């Protein structure tokens, strides 16, 4: 069986989750997480560390569904989710727990070494984090997330989101290595400006010159080294965009940008704060983006970086070309990529794919209802929840208050947004069609063919496992076991590589189409 279709079968059989996710992040199993800290002034200490911007930890114990682990490191996490919650007097604060803090090699089943427990801040629906990551995981490397009932010293704090950490395990599983450079792109908001550096307060990926000190307030280095690599990356992105494929996983970036736009995830690279994502440079030298922090996805954050708070209608009708139409110099990751016509067409194709997979057919709403049903009693039991229970079912459908903030309903946003996007002139353009994708191994070569309609150019992207895809032009000449000339069957012959993987992109003057449509995250494999 073709590995691509085998993977789809496995996903379908297990309800959309990879096999390895049937553990800590299994959505069907809400974990009981009990933290024990002997220090009587632990909260005072952790609060002080947080205010000072320190990631210092207190030693404690943790049990998960009755299994205990000793000598773990515990600290508070988050920014607005911590400080605003603390100010309100609530005890439902977000935690970061490091399993191997003192015990080398200690981890949870599945090899997880860090727990990230979020308090569902600014999300009365309890849906945004989990549903957004579930959607993202179909198109790009993305953390998994579910729910946990969290206790501290036997006091029940409430129902939390539990989100997979972007760490060595995540990198190895998603990129094949974990020895590269990792940045968390989240500015140090209270840091003082550095003399002789250009004005910059966000993780925009603008080039700020050769001085690495100019970057340190905007990015958090998570690996042992990497500042010189980040400077070189931003220099290429901004000043030598023709070389961008050498230093950036372009397709993964287009998926992230398309995802953020469709879901109106503005607490991201797209929005005013331009943050909440990771960049990982793999051992092939390319940076790969990873989405992060989804509690204000689906319109929970109303600032797109253009200077004002967006109305409901403006959220619903957010332009798919946000920042590109104005050539916003503060968003070079988007503007520089979309300046290339083929990349722009692929970006729109990705928007069309996500739109059709989840929103035109109403699948997102079915999943939202199922998730809410599975956690309803736990939300009711949560005496420390940040918002009234009535807002939990209500916010699926309509605007609900989170404190004094109006949080638009998921379907209130997405039903109007789906109508807007599916009728948008960029989306309705006639794209090529790709069908009957086949490959034949003969005489130490792989002959790939596909039936293509309405295309002016057809490209084959191919590689051996975990390498960079190479691009070749497919032709309709009959020279690659593709029938006869001009019969609509395009082909290309690959000198046989071990573990060959490939996908196809077809374009015309208006639009592009990919096969598989989730490429390059999913692809065809030659067995």
Per-residue DSSP letters for 13-61?
HTTT--GGGSSTT-TT--EEEEEE---TTHHHHHHHHHHTT----EEEE
Bond into 516 cis (ω within 30) = yes
> How far is the C-alpha of 474 from the C-alpha of 179, rounded, in Å?
35
Mind listing the pLDDT tens digit for each residue in 344-381?
999 999 999 999 999 999 999 999 999 999 999 999 99
Closest CA to 312 of 373, 248, 398: 398
- Comparing 6-10, 98-102, 223-227, 246-250, which segment has the lowest mean pLDDT? 6-10
Closest CA to 146 of 279, 287, 15, 310: 15
Is the model's pLDDT at 136 over the cut of 90? yes
* 3-class secondary-structure state, position 145: strand
Mind listing the pLDDT tens digit for each residue in 397-417?
999 999 999 999 999 999 999
pLDDT at 241: 97
> How far is the C-alpha of 450 from the C-alpha of 438, rounded, in Å?
6
Closest CA to 287 of 186, 212, 175, 133: 175
Percent of the chain exceeding pLDDT 90 equals 91
What residue ranges define each of the domains in the chain, with the CATH number in brackets? 3-169 (no CATH), 433-525 (2.60.40.10)
Phi, psi of 150 (to 5 degrees): -110, 130
Is the model's pLDDT at 513 over the cut of 60? yes
pLDDT at 258: 98
Whether residue 453 contacts residue 459, with contact meaning beta carbons closer than 8 Å, is answered with no
Is the model's pLDDT at 4 over the cut of 70? no
pTM of the predicted model, to two decimals?
0.95
Mind listing the pLDDT tens digit for each residue in 161-184?
999 999 999 999 999 999 999 999
Is the model's pLDDT at 8 over the cut of 60? no
Residues in a beta bridge with 221: 183
> How far is the C-alpha of 265 from the C-alpha of 331, rounded, in Å?
15
SS (H, E, C) 318-370: CCCCCCCCCCCCCCHHHHHHHCCHHHHHHHHHHHHHHHHHHHHCCHHHHHHHH
CA torsion 225-230-231-237 (nearest 10°) is: 160
> How far is the C-alpha of 445 from the C-alpha of 192, rounded, in Å?
59
The number of beta carbons lying within 10 Å of the beta carbon of residue 524 is 22
| Token duo for residue 156 | 């029940």
Closest CA to 372 of 405, 399, 410, 402: 410
Mind listing the pLDDT tens digit for each residue in 444-503?
899 999 999 999 999 999 999 878 999 999 999 999 988 999 999 999 999 988 899 999
Give 3-state DSSP helix, strand, coil % of the chain, rounded to 5.
30, 25, 45
Is the model's pLDDT at 334 over the cut of 50? yes
Whether residue 273 contacts residue 267, with contact meaning beta carbons closer than 8 Å, is answered with yes
Residues in a beta bridge with 155: 152
Average pLDDT over residues 376-404: 97
| Token duo for residue 289 | 């983006």
Q: Which residues contact 34 (CB under 8 A, 6 or more apart)?
A: 62, 63, 64, 150, 151, 152, 154
Mean pLDDT (the chain) is 94
Average pLDDT over residues 302-314: 94
pLDDT at 58: 98
Percent of the chain exceeding pLDDT 70 equals 96
pLDDT at 200: 87
Q: Directed axis angle between helix 341-354 and helix 250-262, to 10°?
A: 50
pLDDT at 16: 39
């Amino acid at each position: 069986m073709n590995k691509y279709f085998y993977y789809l079968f496995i996903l379908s059989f297990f309800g959309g989750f990879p096999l390895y996710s049937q553990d800590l992040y299994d959505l069907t199993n809400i974990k009981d997480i009990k933290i024990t800290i002997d220090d009587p002034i632990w909260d005072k200490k952790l609060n002080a560390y947080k205010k000072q911007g320190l990631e210092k930890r207190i030693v404690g114990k943790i049990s998960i569904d009755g299994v205990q682990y000793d000598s773990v490191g515990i600290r508070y996490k988050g920014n607005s989710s911590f400080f605003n919650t603390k100010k309100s007097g609530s005890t439902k604060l977000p935690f970061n727990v490091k399993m191997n803090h003192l015990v080398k090699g200690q981890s949870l089943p599945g090899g997880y070494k860090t727990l990230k427990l979020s308090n569902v801040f600014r999300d009365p629906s309890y849906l945004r984090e989990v549903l957004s990551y579930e959607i993202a995981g179909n198109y790009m490397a993305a953390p998994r997330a579910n729910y946990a009932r969290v206790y501290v010293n036997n006091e029940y704090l409430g129902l939390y989101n539990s989100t997979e950490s972007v760490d060595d395990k995540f990198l190895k599983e998603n990129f094949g290595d974990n020895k590269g450079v990792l940045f968390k792109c989240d500015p140090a908001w209270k840091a003082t400006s550095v003399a002789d550096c250009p004005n910059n307060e966000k993780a925009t990926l603008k080039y700020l010159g050769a001085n690495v000190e100019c970057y340190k307030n905007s990015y958090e280095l998570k690996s042992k080294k990497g500042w010189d690599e980040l400077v070189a990356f931003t220099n290429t992105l901004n000043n030598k965009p023709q070389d961008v494929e050498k230093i950036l996983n372009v397709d993964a970036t287009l998926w992230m940008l398309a995802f953020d736009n469709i879901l109106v995830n503005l607490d991201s690279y797209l929005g005013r704060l331009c943050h909440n994502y990771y960049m990982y440079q793999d051992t092939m030298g390319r940076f790969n983006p990873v989405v992060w922090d989804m509690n204000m996805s689906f319109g929970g954050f109303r600032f797109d970086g253009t200077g004002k708070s967006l109305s409901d209608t403006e959220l619903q009708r957010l332009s798919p070309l946000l920042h590109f139409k104005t050539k916003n110099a503060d968003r070079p990751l988007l503007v520089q990529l979309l300046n290339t016509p083929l990349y722009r067409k692929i970006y729109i194709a990705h928007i069309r794919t996500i739109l059709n997979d989840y929103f035109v057919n109403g699948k997102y709403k079915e999943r939202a209802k199922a998730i809410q049903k599975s956690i309803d009693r736990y939300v009711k039991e949560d005496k420390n929840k940040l918002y009234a229970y009535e807002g939990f079912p209500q916010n699926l459908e309509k605007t609900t208050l989170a404190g004094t903030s109006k949080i638009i309903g998921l379907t209130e946003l997405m039903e109007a947004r789906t109508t807007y996007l599916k009728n948008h002139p960029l989306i309705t353009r006639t794209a090529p069609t790709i069908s009957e994708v086949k490959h034949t191994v003969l005489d130490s070569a792989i002959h790939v063919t596909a039936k293509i309609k309405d295309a002016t150019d057809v490209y084959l992207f191919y590689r051996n496992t975990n390498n960079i895809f190479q691009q070749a032009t497919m032709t309709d000449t009959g020279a690659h076991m593709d029938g006869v000339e001009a019969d609509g069957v395009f082909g290309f012959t690959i000198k046989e590589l071990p573990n060959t993987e490939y996908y196809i992109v077809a374009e015309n003057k208006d639009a592009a189409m990919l096969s598989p449509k989730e490429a390059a995250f999913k692809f065809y494999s030659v067995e």
